[in-house]
Structure 1
Amino acid sequence: MACVRILITVNAAWNIWNFRRPLVESLLADGHRVTILAPKDDTVPKLQALGCSVRHLEMNAKGLNPLQDTKLLLRLRQHFRDLRPDVILSFTIKNNIFGAIAAKSTRIPFIPNVTGLGTAFLSGGFLEKVAGMLYKIAFRNLPIVFFQNEDDQTLFLERGLVTNSQARRLPGSGIDLDRFAAAASPAEDEAPIFLMIARLLRDKGVIEYVEAARRVKARHAQARFQLLGATDAVNRTAIDGQTVAGWEREGIIEYLGTVEDVRPMIEASHCVVLPSYREGAPRTLIEAAAMARPLIATDVPGCRAVVDDKTTGFLCEARSAESLAAACEAFISLPSEERAALGCAGRAKMEREYGQNIVLDAYRAALRDLGPATCHVAA
Structure 2
Amino acid sequence: MKVLVFTNFGMGLFNFRKELLEKLISEENDVYVSLPYDEYVPKLKRLGCKYIESKVDRRGTNPINDMKLLIQYIKVIKNVKPDVVLTYTIKPNIYGGIACRITKVPYLTNITGLGTAIENRGLIQKITLSLYSLGLKNSTCVFFQNEFNRSFFADNNIVKGKTKLIPGSGVNLEHHKCEDYPSDDKTIRFVFIGRIMKAKGIEELFQAAKKVKEIYSNVEFDLVGASEEDYTKQLSELEGWGIIKYHGQQSDVHSFIKNSHGIILPSYHEGTANVLLESASTGRPILASRVPGCIETFEDDITGLGFKVRSVPSLVEAIIKFIKLPYHQKKQMGIEGRKKMEEEYDRKLVIDAYLQEIQTLVNEEN
Per the normalisation by structure 2, the TM-score is 0.97
Counterpart-to-counterpart distance in 2, 1:334 and 1:114? 37
User: d(CA) in 2 for partners of 1:295 and 1:13?
Assistant: 26
Cα distance between partner residues in 1 of 2:268 and 2:230: 15
Q: Which residue of 2 aligns with 1:190?
A: 186
1:277 is aligned, of 257, 268, 287, to 268
Residues 33, 50 of structure 2: 8 Å contact kept:
yes
The corresponding residue for 1:247 is 238
Distance in 2 between the 1:150 and 1:239 partners? 33
The reply on whether 1:90 has 2:87 as its aligned counterpart is: yes
Query: CA-to-partner distance for each residue in 1:168-201, whole Å, 9 max, x for gaps?
Result: 0111111111111111111112311111001111
The 8 Å contact of residues 118 and 125 in structure 2, kept in 1 or not, is answered as yes
Q: Which has the higher contact order (CA 8 A, sep 6+)?
A: 1
Residue 156 of structure 1 aligns to a residue in which SS? Answer: helix
3-state SS in 1 of match to 2:118: helix
8 Å contact kept, 1:194–1:225: yes
Within the candidate set 175, 179, 202, 1:179 is matched to 175
Per-residue deviation, 1:266? 0.8
Higher mean C-alpha displacement, 131-140 vs 105-114 = 131-140
8 Å contact from structure 2 (residues 168, 272) kept in 1: yes
* Alignment equivalent of 1:292, drawn from 278, 283, 297: 283
Compute the displacement of 1:372 (Å): 4.1
- Checking the alignment, whether the CA contact within 8 Å between 1:63 and 1:120 is kept in structure 2 is no
Q: Distance in 2 between matches of 1:239 and 1:318?
A: 22
The equivalent residue for 2:118 is 121
Task: Note the alpha carbon deviations across 1:17-37, whole angstroms, 9 max, x for none.
Answer: 222111111111122110101
User: 2:127 matched to which residue of 1?
Assistant: 130
* Match among 322, 331, 336 for residue 327 of structure 2: 336
Checking the alignment, whether the CA contact within 8 Å between 1:96 and 1:113 is kept in structure 2 is yes
Displacement after TM superposition at 1:95 (Å): 0.1
User: Unpaired segments of 5 or more residues in structure 1?
Assistant: none
Deviation at 1:85, TM superposition (A): 0.6
Per-residue deviation, 1:373 = 4.1
Match of 2:298 among 303, 307, 320: 307
2:149 is the alignment partner of 1:149: no
- The answer to whether the 8 A contact 2:16-2:171 is kept is no
Between the aligned partners of 2:354 and 2:306, the Cα distance in structure 1 is: 31
Note the alpha carbon deviations across 1:81-139, whole angstroms, 9 max, x for none.
Answer: 11111100010100001110111010100111000111111111211111111111211
Alpha-carbon contact 2:189-2:222 (below 8 Å) kept: yes
Aligned to 2:67: 70
1:159 pairs, out of 147, 156, 160, with: 156
CA–CA distance in structure 1, aligned partners of residues 364 and 284 of structure 2: 47
Secondary structure of the equivalent of 2:177?
coil
5+ residue gaps, structure 2: none
Q: What is the letter of the counterpart of residue 148 of structure 1?
A: Q
Give the whole-Å Cα distance in 2 for the aligned partners of 1:176 and 1:69.
Answer: 34
Q: Which runs of 4+ in 1 moved over 4 A?
A: none
* 1:215 maps to 2:206: no
> Could you list the per-position Cα deviations for residues 45-74 of structure 1 after superposition, in whole angstroms to 9, with x for gaps in the alignment?
211111110010022111322221111111
Counterpart contact for 1:202–1:239, Cα < 8 Å: no
Distance across 2 between alignment mates of 1:342 and 1:35: 41
In structure 2, distance between residues paired with 1:97 and 1:57: 14
Name the counterpart of 2:250: 259
Distance of 1:347 and 1:23 partners within structure 2: 22
Does 1:61 pair with 2:52? no
**Cα deviations across residues 293-313 of structure 1 (Å, max 9, x unaligned)?**
001000111011112211110
Q: Once the 2 structures are TM-superposed, how far is the Cα of residue 221 of structure 1 from its aligned partner?
A: 1.6
User: RMSD between aligned alpha carbons?
Assistant: 1.3
Partner of 1:9: 6
Relative to the length of structure 1, the TM-score reads 0.94
Q: Any residues of structure 2 matched to 1:328-367 within 5 Å, and which?
A: 328-367=319-358
Shift of 1:218: 1.2
Residue aligning to 1:370: 361
* Equivalent position SS for 2:60: coil
Once the 2 structures are TM-superposed, how far is the Cα of residue 289 of structure 1 from its aligned partner?
A: 0.1
CA distance in 1, matches of 2:248, 2:181: 22
Structure 1 residues 183-242: Cα deviation after superposition (integer angstroms, max 9, x where no partner): 1111112311111001111110111111111111111121111111112x2xxxx13333
